[in-house]
Chains A and B, each alone.
Chain A
Amino acid sequence: MRDKRMSLDEVVGELRSGMTIGIGGWGSRRKPMALVRAILRSDITDLTVVSYGGPDLGLLCSAGKVRKAYYGFVSLDSAPFYDPWFAKARTSGALVAREMDEGMLKCGLEAAAARLPFLPIRAGLGSDVFNFWDGELRTVTSPYPGENGKPETLTAMPALNLDAALVHLNIGDKHGNAAYTGVDPYFDDLYCLAAQRRYLSVERVVETEELVKSVPLPSLLLNRMMVDGVVEAPGGAHFTLAGDDYKRDEKFQRHYVESAKTPEGWQQFVDTYLSVSEDEYQAAVRAFATKEA
């Protein structure tokens, strides 16, 4: 069986400007932040991003890499909740927003996973979601009339087909079998099923035998058919939380928000945490934690 292990920068080497990229996790929860940081180190730009957005989308916006965003929300999940870089991109009109109901995002990934052009969903009707989509979003009328003879007309959620998916899980093998630990798988399997190229970072790579002994069977979210590249990235979801491995680094997330307030503050954040390798990032984060303790 193929050994799919890669480095962060090798993954990014397979991405191209203009791609549609799905980013797993949820808000500030188990985001593939090391892979996002690797994109920031590259010259890849003009991205269309599909995400239950958090600081992943924020960091990509900070570097002007997002042309268009499909999202159900963008949240840091703790105060001040609103991501500062996503807010700047929106208020400056820097990106095209395809805002939608949270359930519509799941529905669009499921349509793509099943190679369907759309799936019907009730959410979106009557709201401004249709106006956000500038004609990209249509309705579909049921061929089956309801009880009173009237058919339902529903949102025809288009498939959210992805060129690439980036997800972070807790434990995996070198072939792409992988599991989450903690309370929620989020939607990382759907992102992988919706994408042409699927890249997985994990806290630790272990032998298959150890993987399947480490977690209950229902936690084995990804199998080999769903993954093209595996990166071992301990701390790879920092500063978001990662199931049983670690909680959100609230102090650092607040530092990220504070740093975004002034050009000088942000330049310092970039120099310390973003214009550096992943190992240097993790060292700088440890130094920050020590200083703040």
Chain B
Amino acid sequence: MSEISTETTSTDTVTRAEICAVACAEIFEGAGEIMASPMSPMSILGARLAKLTTEPDLLLSDGEALLFAETPPIGGKSPIEGWIPFRKVFDVVASGRRHVVMGANQVDRHGNQNLSAFGPLQQPTRQMFGVRGAPGNTLNHATSYWVSRHNKRTFVETVDIVSGVGYDKIDPDNPAFRFHHLHRVVTNLGVFDFDGPDHTMRARSLHPGVTADEVAENTSFEIAGLAEAGESRRPTAEELRLIRDVLDPKKVRESEVPA
């Protein structure tokens, strides 16, 4: 076999961004033949890495209206396999055959998320996008979050506006909520889910070099399992090759998580 000892596939020099890319790929582990809808460069890199390794049946779009037949690098083109204009995306949302990775201006311990605005509903102090598709995404299919800067302003006691629905908003007597599932939160510090007591945020792993204290100092609420959390998985040589040589040779990933 050819050597994989070249500079670009060395696992000795793994960056934080590369750890994050693998953690974003693992969001889609076992997802099967559904539409992966990552909304930022790091989660796009993760979804494409998953498709090229363990999840070949994922559907990926160009973010506009075309379904890729192949898996291009970030910013690249690919032959297509289908058409997914915005109105058809809403059909997919309602079908449940989708896993979205959204960003978040705020997330609380129950997984409520805000990307709408800060401040009062009818006179905010800062306007962002509005709720976008977050209410429909979170009620219909698996939803994960990618946060490139884990800090207390993002991980808050209470979000200003609930655009993405958290576990404490679920009415157990109303089966309309039965598809709600928040799968992961991946940040520049670690990997989390909502399997803590009463569906609160729990640490699954911290990235190499990150301490529990660092996470606690950058989170406004207590995270379950923080002391017990192990280390996030390092990329394999093949994953590093795909990240560095195939999917992101221009290191777009470092625009979100500096090396």
Contact = CB atoms under 8 A, between A and B. Distances in A.
B129 A73 contact: yes
Interface stretch (A149-157, A169-177, A199-207, A223-231): A149-157
Interface string A112-135: 000000000111111111011000
Contact of B136 (A87, A97, A101, A186): A101
A186 B89 CA distance: 11
A103 B135 CA distance: 9
The interface centre, meaning the residue of B66, B93, B164 with most chain A CB atoms within 10 A of its CB, is: B93
Interface in A95-113: 96-97, 99-104, 106
B112 to A, nearest CB: 9
Contact of B130 (A71, A93, A183): A71
A184 B131 contact: no
The interface centre, meaning the residue of A102, A127, A186 with most chain B CB atoms within 10 A of its CB, is: A127
A150 B93 contact: no
B135 A91 contact: no
B121 A132 contact: yes
The interface centre, meaning the residue of B126, B127, B165 with most chain A CB atoms within 10 A of its CB, is: B127
A97 B176 contact: no
Interface string B112-148: 0000110101111111111111111011100000000
A184 B130 contact: no
Contacts of A91: 119, 123-127
Contacts of B93: 103, 123
A152 B174 contact: yes
Contacts of B140: 122-123
Interface of A: 26, 53, 71-75, 81-82, 86-87, 90-93, 96-97, 99-104, 106, 121-129, 131-132, 146, 148, 150-154, 183-187
Interface of B: 64-66, 83, 85-87, 90, 93-94, 116-117, 119, 121-136, 138-140, 161-165, 169-171, 173-177, 179-180
19 contacts: A26-B86, A72-B132, A86-B127, A87-B127, A93-B123, A97-B122, A100-B131, A100-B135, A101-B134, A102-B136, A104-B135, A124-B135, A125-B176, A131-B121, A152-B175, A183-B64, A183-B65, A183-B83, A187-B87
